[in-house]
Structure 1
Amino acid sequence: MRVLLTGSSGWLGRHLAPMLTASGHNVTGIDVAPGAHTQEIGTIADRSFVDRVVSDHGIEAIIHGGALHKPDIARFPRKAFIDVNVTGTLNLLEAAVAAGHSRFVFTSTTSLMISKAIRAEASDAAVWLDEHHTPLAPRNIYGVTKLAAENLCREVHQQTGLACLVLRTSRFFPEDDDTLTDPPPENLKANEFLNRRMTVEDAARAHIAALEKAPELGFGVYLVSAPTPFQREDCAALKEDAASVVARYFPDAPELYARHDWTLPSSIGRVYDASAFERDLGFRFQTDFSAILDALRSGGELPFAHDAGYPSPSVEGADLIWRD
């Protein structure tokens, strides 16, 4: 299948493109910055650019992974987020319909599920988050535009029949958290596999599974994150004393963490449940918190990437995204 992959120079794109190729697909990558898997440089906010790429490369399906992300809030105005994340998504959807495509996969974000109240962790218990969580009240322009783009996918599917799967992905970025500094970055990432992170490799594999299943499912919004070991009934205890709950599921975790001068989370305010994605798509994540502990036991390499200096393509391609 001839697949158009947006965001091909980004962290997800550079892992997803070779996996798609290995699966037998012919991949055309587009991004605002050059990269090893990017054939076309341009912005998806430009409808004529999108139409030309789809036509010139005989595109048959689209995986839309490109976007402005949360760290870009400090770099670009709100209008740039609307142009790229909303108008850009509409341009791709309409190009797919015009070309007679049978499937469209959209990379969304769990961030749009996090209201100010959830972010503040003001509740007495951890918030259990799955696809049925409401109301959705995104706390920033990133979440607002991603939710709008999800609704465009739904509306286009309803009006045209284009199969669209929306993947609300949790964290898989390699760089340091832009707000949290304690515990240190690798310790923080390891902890997040308990409730809100996955590897970029699993994120890429999830997109390929969605590409294959989209025509069968028609439309769906799925939370995609490493499977949590917790149950809903753990939520109160997770907020009060998360380390004890972790030790109940993984008795040697405290010792393994202490051996590496790491700390378990003292409190967890939200938990992502990706069981619907696993069930409906027959998908299994390759890395979870158990894999982190296995690496700590064996002294092997941690099964996730960390790169404090990772350069976002939005920085190099800033002139294509926005000009004052």
Structure 2
Amino acid sequence: MRRATVTGSSGLVGSVVSEALEADGWSVTGVDRAPGRWTSVVGDLRDRPVREAALQGSDAVVHAAARHAPHVGRVDDREFRAVNVDATEALLEATGDRRFVYISTTSVYGHSLVPTDRAVWVDESLPPRPRDIYDETKLAAEALVTAATTSVVLRIARCFPEPPPVLAAHLLHRAVHPADVAAAAATVTERSDVTGVFTIAGPYAFTRVDCPALHHDAAALIAERLPEVAEAFRTRGWSLSATIDRVYDSTAAAHAFGYRPAYGVHQALAIAQPAR
């Protein structure tokens, strides 16, 4: 049986990736500092024995462990570098020529996400311009990973639990469901022919030509393009955004390895039924 190592396996993304890999026939070794269902090695990846235990018998690595955006300002910058960069470098060295999938973030685009007279269309051609230590260290780790010949980087869109109105609004243009991230990670773990950097986001109804309208009157465009969504927001007493600042584009991932996100705003609305 093929064995995959998943770091950060007790976290939101790491756990769903572990589940998806097992469903695809992999035996999963999870490693995390906190215990969890998918975590068989509890420890810090900065420690050599932990890395060795996690990688024993492994055919591929999915690296999701990191210090994240909520830690900015609460954790020393040196800790960010030690966890996000130094531990990634050590893990890469220990991995050798095995398949390596790195879970990064669209946050690395940083200052490039700020709109001017239109919403920003976010794909791999947009230059990263980090704005904080989180962005800086994730981008630095990306550089280490892309230097490895059997690696791939997945820059995932906003992906964490939020109140239903916020999640539904974000799923229109900038959020991704963990299940779609897991599907993408499981697919590229199999596909050693796929290398490079890919944006992983949700299914959205907008195109690049919509960017001016999204910036100036997003609610009107949503009502025109997605009238059922606009009506669903109205019946729930939720407000549509007056402006949308960015739209993530996963076209490159679709072309490279068939990424097709399945969970969008309609699925979120089906779960969050209006009160009766």
Structures share a fold, TM > 0.5?
yes
Shift of 1:252: 2.8
Query: 1:84-95 to 2 correspondence within 5 Å?
Result: 84-95=83-94
The separation in 1 between residues aligned to 2:51 and 2:104, in whole angstroms, is: 20
Shift of 1:139: 0.6
The separation in 1 between residues aligned to 2:251 and 2:203, in whole angstroms, is: 7
CA contact (8 A) 1:43 1:84 kept: no
CA contact (8 A) 2:223 2:229 kept: yes
**One of 101, 105, 112 as aligned partner of 1:109:** 105
The separation in 1 between residues aligned to 2:135 and 2:48, in whole angstroms, is: 23
Look up the match of 1:239: 215
The separation in 2 between residues aligned to 1:118 and 1:286, in whole angstroms, is: 25
CA contact (8 A) 2:215 2:244 kept: yes
Shift of 1:247: 1.1
Shift of 1:80: 0.6
Give CA deviations for 1:132-189 in whole Å, capped at 9, x if unaligned. 112x21111011000000000122x2xxx3x111000011111x4xxxxxxxx32111
Shift of 1:15: 1.7
The separation in 2 between residues aligned to 1:252 and 1:26, in whole angstroms, is: 42
Judging changes above 3 Å, is the alpha-carbon distance between structure 1 residues 53 and 288 closer, same or farther for their aligned structure 2 residues?
closer
Structure 2: give runs of 5+ residues left out of the alignment. Answer: none
Q: TM-score normalised to the size of structure 1?
A: 0.80
Shift of 1:279: 1.7
1:26 lines up with 2:27 in the alignment: yes
Look up the match of 2:75: 76
Report SS of the residue matched to 1:111. Answer: helix
Shift of 1:257: 1.0
Judging changes above 3 Å, is the alpha-carbon distance between structure 1 residues 52 and 276 closer, same or farther for their aligned structure 2 residues?
same
Judging changes above 3 Å, is the alpha-carbon distance between structure 1 residues 293 and 34 closer, same or farther for their aligned structure 2 residues?
closer
1:172 lines up with 2:168 in the alignment: no
1:212 lines up with 2:199 in the alignment: no
CA contact (8 A) 1:227 1:275 kept: no
CA contact (8 A) 2:15 2:38 kept: yes
Shift of 1:293: 4.6
Report SS of the residue matched to 1:139. Answer: coil
1:250 lines up with 2:200 in the alignment: no
**One of 245, 248, 261 as aligned partner of 1:269:** 245
Report SS of the residue matched to 1:230. Answer: coil
1:152 lines up with 2:144 in the alignment: yes
Instruction: Please give the root-mean-square deviation of Cα atoms over the aligned residues, in Å.
Output: 1.8
1:132 lines up with 2:125 in the alignment: yes
CA contact (8 A) 2:41 2:50 kept: no
Report SS of the residue matched to 2:39. Answer: coil
1:41 lines up with 2:28 in the alignment: no
CA contact (8 A) 2:167 2:268 kept: no
Letter in structure 2 aligned against 1:95: A
CA contact (8 A) 1:4 1:63 kept: yes
Judging changes above 3 Å, is the alpha-carbon distance between structure 1 residues 285 and 291 closer, same or farther for their aligned structure 2 residues?
same
Letter in structure 1 aligned against 2:171: F
The separation in 1 between residues aligned to 2:228 and 2:145, in whole angstroms, is: 45
Letter in structure 1 aligned against 2:129: A
The separation in 2 between residues aligned to 1:38 and 1:236, in whole angstroms, is: 46
Structure 1: give runs of 5+ residues left out of the alignment. Answer: 177-184, 301-324
Give CA deviations for 1:249-275 in whole Å, capped at 9, x if unaligned. 112332221111111111001110011
Identity of aligned residues (%): 37
**One of 251, 254, 259 as aligned partner of 1:283:** 259
The separation in 2 between residues aligned to 1:168 and 1:28, in whole angstroms, is: 23
Give CA deviations for 1:216-255 in whole Å, capped at 9, x if unaligned. 12x2100000022111111111011001111111123322
CA contact (8 A) 2:164 2:268 kept: no
The separation in 2 between residues aligned to 1:242 and 1:80, in whole angstroms, is: 40
Shift of 1:6: 0.1
Q: TM-score normalised to the size of structure 2?
A: 0.94
Letter in structure 1 aligned against 2:189: L
Shift of 1:42: 1.4
Aligned length: 274
Shift of 1:294: 4.9
